[in-house]
């Protein structure tokens, strides 16, 4: 069975495992105060070209979104997001569980448009009854989006300007950020993100780490008593070294970017091979997530040979599936997948 269901199926890159072994018996302080966390933070600051950035390590994406959003919002505020956003669709109501509503607006291949965001915010403030409503307290975007698409530098700047005008933070979910940064079709860098966003995280779980997400507050804007807020969510790891060592390794010799680029290379090879076979894509994704439009009959045949993710049903006879490459995907696996899918025609 070929497995392309997601990009977190394998464990961790061997350099991370080796570093964990090498440091295993070294006693260090807990809760993220160890020297490895500090080394990792400094390397991330340099990568972001943001020496004043405040960085915190958490273990998973949903946990990170819940902690950051809850800490940055007042009790009466909600978070604005695309209707397909991870916080709106695939986090089991984690944001609502923490007391905040997800306020959805239309999505366009996973992205929100600056003009539609501005209209949403303006209508809220123009409503004479807005004191009786959930206030839009921040804006959430994902990059890459849930459809593998990417914001451009100009789009991020426009969203940032609107958020600044309405005095609310712009927060980026970077669960797959490496794959976005290393796409062949992007003008967005870590430094651009640090300038445009008020908070974002660099995903490790899907890019070679066992687990771990690095939250970045780039503008001296860390929520008050953030460590305490993390602990209230049960998210403060006593052995914070486990996260610090992983990110220190990922940001040594550009490993994070090398691994991310590998996944892009594999995705581009997959796309090229499937197009030659005449396979239809649901949309154009420049990252490691590729979305195919297949008939239900083809799906039934494929699922006996390939593990994939169901995405949506655009009509009664067709299904959209997601195939994801990762830092660990091999060219041999991709070649075999191309052959298997090609035989469906």
Tell me, letter by letter, the H, E, C secondary structure of 271-305: HHHHHHCCCCECCCCCCCEEEEEEEHHHHHHHCCC
- Cis preceding-peptide flag for 213 (omega within 30 of 0): no
Count Cβ atoms below 10 Å from residue 214 Cβ, excluding itself: 28
- CA separation, residue 25 to residues 20, 28, 143 (Å): 9, 9, 37
Lowest mean pLDDT among 60-74, 134-148, 163-177, 306-320: 306-320
Sheet holding 289-295, edge to edge: 289-295, 318-324, 309-312
Q: What is the CATH number of domain 14-250?
A: 3.40.640.10
Radius of gyration for the alpha carbons in the chain, expressed in angstroms and rounded: 20
Q: Provide the mean pLDDT of the chain.
A: 97
3-state secondary structure of 203: strand
User: Averaged over 305-318, what is the pLDDT?
Assistant: 93
Could you give the count of Cα atoms lying within 13 Å of 287 in the half-sphere of its Cβ? Answer: 25
Q: Provide the pLDDT confidence category of residue 344 given band limits of 50, 70 and 90.
A: confident
CB 163 within 8 Å of CB 221: no
For 174-288, list the strands marked E by DSSP.
Answer: 199-203, 213-217
pLDDT given for residue 37 in this prediction: 98
Look at residues 56, 149, 69 and name the one whose alpha carbon lies nearest to residue 111. 149
CA–CA separation, 159 and 20 (whole Å): 40
For 24-99, list the strands marked E by DSSP.
Answer: 54-58, 77-82
The answer, yes or no, to whether residue 117 has pLDDT greater than 90, is yes
pLDDT given for residue 301 in this prediction: 93
Look at residues 175, 148, 180 and name the one whose alpha carbon lies nearest to residue 65. 175
Q: What are phi and psi of 195, to 5 degrees?
A: -80, -35
Lowest mean pLDDT among 12-21, 165-174, 284-293, 295-304: 295-304
Q: What is the DSSP letter of 317?
A: S
Burial class (CB in 10 A: 0-12, 13-18, 19+), 98: middle
The answer, yes or no, to whether residue 345 has pLDDT greater than 80, is no
Please report, for the chain, the start and end positions of each structural domain, with discontinuous segments joined by +: 2-7+255-342, 14-250
- CA separation, residue 138 to residues 72, 117, 135, 144 (Å): 8, 11, 9, 19
The answer, yes or no, to whether residue 305 has pLDDT greater than 80, is yes
pLDDT given for residue 205 in this prediction: 98
Q: Provide the pLDDT confidence category of residue 127 given band limits of 50, 70 and 90.
A: very high
pLDDT > 70: what percent of the chain? 100
Look at residues 232, 234, 174, 235 and name the one whose alpha carbon lies nearest to residue 200. 174
CA–CA separation, 19 and 37 (whole Å): 13
**pLDDT, tens only, 40-86:** 999 999 999 999 999 999 999 999 999 999 999 999 999 999 999 99
3-state secondary structure of 60: coil
Q: Is domain 2-7+255-342 given the CATH code 2.40.50.140 in the classification? A: no
CA–CA separation, 17 and 15 (whole Å): 5
Q: Which residues contact 11 (CB under 8 A, 6 or more apart)?
A: 17, 210
pLDDT given for residue 287 in this prediction: 98
Look at residues 283, 247, 270, 241 and name the one whose alpha carbon lies nearest to residue 336. 270
The answer, yes or no, to whether residue 101 has pLDDT greater than 90, is yes
CA–CA separation, 160 and 340 (whole Å): 44
**pLDDT, tens only, 170-227:** 999 999 999 999 999 999 999 999 999 999 999 999 999 999 999 999 999 999 999 9
Query: Would the pTM of this model clear 0.85, i.e. be above it?
Result: yes
């Amino acid at each position: 069975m070929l497995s392309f269901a997601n990009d977190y199926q394998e464990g961790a890159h061997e350099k991370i495992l080796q570093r964990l072994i090498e440091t295993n018996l070294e006693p260090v302080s807990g809760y993220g105060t160890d020297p490895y966390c500090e080394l990792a933070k400094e390397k991330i600051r340099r990568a972001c070209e943001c020496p004043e950035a405040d960085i915190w390590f958490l273990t998973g994406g949903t946990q990170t979104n819940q902690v950051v959003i809850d800490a940055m919002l007042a009790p009466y505020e909600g978070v604005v997001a695309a209707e397909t956003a991870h916080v709106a669709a695939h986090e089991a109501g984690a944001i609502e569980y923490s007391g905040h509503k997800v306020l959805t607006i239309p999505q366009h291949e996973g992205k929100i448009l600056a003009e539609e965001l501005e209209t949403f915010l303006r209508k809220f403030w123009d409503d004479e009854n807005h004191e009786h409503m959930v206030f839009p307290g921040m804006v959430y975007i994902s990059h890459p989006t849930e459809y593998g698409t990417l914001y451009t530098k100009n789009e991020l700047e426009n969203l940032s300007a609107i958020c600044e005008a309405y005095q609310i933070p712009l927060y980026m979910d970077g669960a797959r950020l490496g794959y976005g940064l290393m796409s062949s079709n992007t003008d967005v860098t870590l430094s651009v993100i640090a300038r445009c966003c008020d908070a974002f995280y660099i995903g490790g779980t899907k890019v070679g780490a066992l687990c771990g997400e690095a939250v970045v507050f780039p503008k001296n804007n860390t929520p008050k008593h953030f460590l305490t807020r993390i602990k209230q969510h049960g998210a403060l790891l006593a052995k914070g070294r486990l996260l610090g060592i992983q990110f220190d390794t990922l940001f040594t010799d550009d490993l994070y970017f090398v691994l991310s680029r590998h996944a892009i290379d594999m995705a581009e090879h997959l796309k090229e091979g499937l197009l030659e076979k005449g396979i239809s894509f649901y949309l154009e994704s420049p990252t490691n997530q590729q979305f195919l439009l297949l008939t239900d009959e083809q799906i039934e045949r494929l699922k006996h040979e390939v593990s994939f993710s169901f995405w949506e049903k655009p009509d009664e006879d067709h299904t959209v599936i997601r195939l994801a490459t990762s830092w660990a995907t091999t060219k041999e696996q991709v070649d075999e997948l191309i052959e298997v899918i090609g035989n469906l025609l």
